[in-house]
Structure 1
Amino acid sequence: MMFWTIIALVTLAAAFAVMWPFLAATTTVARRDEHAVEVYRDQLDELERDVDRGLISREEAAEARAELGRRILSADTQPEEMTARRRSRDRLARVIAIAAVLFVPAASWAVYGYLGSPDIPAQPLAARKSADPAQASIQELVARAEAQLALKPDDVRGWKALAPIYARLGRFDDAERAYRRILALEGDDAATYALLGEALVGAAKGVVEAEAEEAFEVAVNLDPKNPRARFYLALAQAQDGREDDARDRLQALTAELPEDSPWKAAARSALASFEPAENAGVGPLRANAEQQAMIDSMVAGLDQRLRENPDDPEGWRRLLRSLSVLERKDDAQAALERAVEAFGAESEEAEMIRNYARTLPVFSQD
């Protein structure tokens, strides 16, 4: 509290120092006029002394006396209306200037009181530097890492530490940029491409889009045994309606991976979601209640994004494909109609989307 009291007093003192010339300006002009009159009168007295000493003639003195008289009258007899107008103008200027000076600290205090945290205890620089990182929040750690990388943007180790944290925090766009930075600094790497694809899937709310699928393909080409890339490629096949291909890929994954691999467990869980159509009645891609809720959320997110930005042909194809996999025929038909309306029935994009829809099982059902 003492600190803020001192800051307030210093601010007021600084404001008063700036305002003082405006406060003192009320008498400046009047004093200037009074001083001019006094000077002219002194000159008249000096003129009389010069005549007495014979330094100038009386004719010259008379002319000088007349000129000084005119100056005295001009300085001493200004019209009252002009004086009042000048005083009013000066008063308004002083009020505006003083208000402007006071506004700066008042606005600063108000903004800081609303946006800042004046109640947080002070943390000296030395204490912050010596603070145990284990006691810091994840946001503080991320902020420190970002500040460090701003100074050293080529620090690959820093990017590798920060990228997965971005992903865990749901900051998938930042994670994508981090992984791309790693690839630019370190060159092609299967694990990094797989992580990049996973970040893209997270940003797309679980849908394996073309860009993510491409990243997984690059990862598999660099390392055919990369489990992360292989799993997501199977997911892409399932979302594309290629259930048999997805099942084959997942079975190969479970056969090759060790028992303690998390990707083996994920592959088994995904395989369990496939059931014969006659045993489920809800579509070729089966899921328990929790999985189904997650899938529905992903599809709803994609649907909402297209409502906000319908100028996305690839997005419409992904939505139609997902709804077809889930056998949501009515929703798929409604989405197709919205897509055609968004681009115009006669447009090339609309025709391409209609042709793509004809290849999906849900549109070929009786």
Structure 2
Amino acid sequence: DKSPAESSVDELVARAEAHLAANPSDGKGWDVLAPVYLRLQRYADAVTAYRNAIRLDGDSAARQAGLGEAIANAAGGIVTAEAQGAFDAALKLDPANAKASFYLAMGLAQEGRKAEAAAAWQKMLGQLAPDSPWRNAVQQALAETAEPPAAAGKPATGPDAGQVEATQQMAPQDRQAMIETMVASLDDRLKQNPRDEEGWMRLIRSYVVLGEADRARDALGRAVAVFGADSEQAKKFTAFAASLGVTATE
């Protein structure tokens, strides 16, 4: 048996999984594996592992913040209501939890509440240790939030998580109509300004959120056509769509 130092991450994960299959109530095991899944971008597995760790070993700020991060990443980077709930729980347990604070501010920005998001990030900068790994992320987020609103010819902004979340309060048919209107206007803008990578990715994700796989596939095909099938962008779009369960039609 090789020493852990010589084993690949995959082997270690496989070993941990085998251990947990045999000992599913080992909370410590789930706790160790959860952040590893997160780093490996196995977000759905990370969500399960964090939930098990919390159920078996109890609440902690780190577990709740990790759970929130896993939920948000599984949703394509969107801070959903469920993710917000986990981050709120983390801050109740540890008001100084940087990960939870960062993602909650991101949720505000996604809802279009840019000023509130910027204020939350500024407050974080005032509280973070000088060597905190979060400083860079916060500064970058602030720089993006401070950019002037997109003018003609700039990247189109489509319905993001927050707007979709905010519409959860409406009657289902009104909500569907509002989301479809936002998606349609993004679709139109991309027809006029097709060289907008972010816009295409947002459009593909929006159709997935609406449960319209065919239109998501169509958007992927159009995005690839704009930049050319062999382009870096086409590879990026295809991988992004695949992560949402959308594959290009032959």
TM-score relative to the length of structure 2: 0.63
Aligned twin of 2:95? 224
Matches of 1:167 and 1:306, distance apart in 2: 22
* Residue 181 to residue 297, structure 1, CA distance change in 2 (3 Å): farther
User: Within 5 A, what are the aligned runs for 1:139-150?
Assistant: 139-150=10-21
Give a deviation string over 1:207-234, Cα, whole Å, max 9, x none: 1111111111111122211110000000
Say whether the 8 Å CA contact 1:179–1:195 is kept in structure 2: yes
Aligned twin of 1:252? 123
- 1:305 partnered with 2:208: yes
User: Within 5 A, what are the aligned runs for 1:16-31?
Assistant: none
* Residue 139 to residue 304, structure 1, CA distance change in 2 (3 Å): farther
Amino acid of the residue matched to residue 87 of structure 2? F
* Residue 209 to residue 190, structure 1, CA distance change in 2 (3 Å): same
Amino acid of the residue matched to residue 78 of structure 2? V
* Residue 183 to residue 208, structure 1, CA distance change in 2 (3 Å): same
- 1:264 partnered with 2:142: no
Matches of 2:75 and 2:94, distance apart in 1: 25
Asked which structure has the greater CA Rg, the reply is 1
Secondary structure of the residue aligned to 2:89 is helix
Amino acid of the residue matched to residue 223 of structure 1? D
Aligned twin of 1:199? 70
Secondary structure of the residue aligned to 1:241 is coil
* Residue 251 to residue 284, structure 1, CA distance change in 2 (3 Å): farther
Aligned twin of 1:209? 80
* Residue 301 to residue 146, structure 1, CA distance change in 2 (3 Å): farther
Give a deviation string over 1:124-151, Cα, whole Å, max 9, x none: xxxxxx2233332222211110111112
* Identity across matched positions, percent: 43
CA shift, 1:169, in A, is 1.6
Matches of 2:58 and 2:138, distance apart in 1: 29
| Uncovered stretches (5+) of structure 1, i.e. residues with no partner | 1-129, 286-291, 311-366
Once the two structures are overlaid, the 10-residue window that deviates more, 240-249 or 133-142, is 133-142
Aligned twin of 1:183? 54
Secondary structure of the residue aligned to 2:129 is coil
Aligned twin of 1:38? none
Secondary structure of the residue aligned to 1:277 is coil
Aligned twin of 1:174? 45
CA shift, 1:301, in A, is 4.7
- 1:138 partnered with 2:9: yes
CA shift, 1:306, in A, is 3.2
Amino acid of the residue matched to residue 303 of structure 1? S
Matches of 2:92 and 2:131, distance apart in 1: 25
Matches of 2:83 and 2:212, distance apart in 1: 20
Matches of 2:140 and 2:42, distance apart in 1: 26
Aligned twin of 1:158? 29
Amino acid of the residue matched to residue 182 of structure 1? A
Which structure features the higher share of helix residues? 1
Secondary structure of the residue aligned to 2:145 is coil
CA shift, 1:181, in A, is 0.4
- 1:242 partnered with 2:113: yes
Say whether the 8 Å CA contact 2:156–2:199 is kept in structure 1: no
Say whether the 8 Å CA contact 2:105–2:118 is kept in structure 1: yes
Aligned twin of 1:110? none
* Residue 190 to residue 154, structure 1, CA distance change in 2 (3 Å): same
Amino acid of the residue matched to residue 200 of structure 1? I
Aligned twin of 1:51? none
Say whether the 8 Å CA contact 1:275–1:284 is kept in structure 2: no
* Residue 199 to residue 297, structure 1, CA distance change in 2 (3 Å): farther
Give a deviation string over 1:60-109, Cα, whole Å, max 9, x none: xxxxxxxxxxxxxxxxxxxxxxxxxxxxxxxxxxxxxxxxxxxxxxxxxx
Amino acid of the residue matched to residue 16 of structure 2? A
Amino acid of the residue matched to residue 240 of structure 1? E
Give a deviation string over 1:254-302, Cα, whole Å, max 9, x none: 0110111111211111111133537x634899xxxxxx95x55762452
Aligned twin of 1:316? none
Say whether the 8 Å CA contact 2:60–2:90 is kept in structure 1: yes
* CA-based RMSD: 2.4
Matches of 2:212 and 2:56, distance apart in 1: 34
* Residue 203 to residue 156, structure 1, CA distance change in 2 (3 Å): same
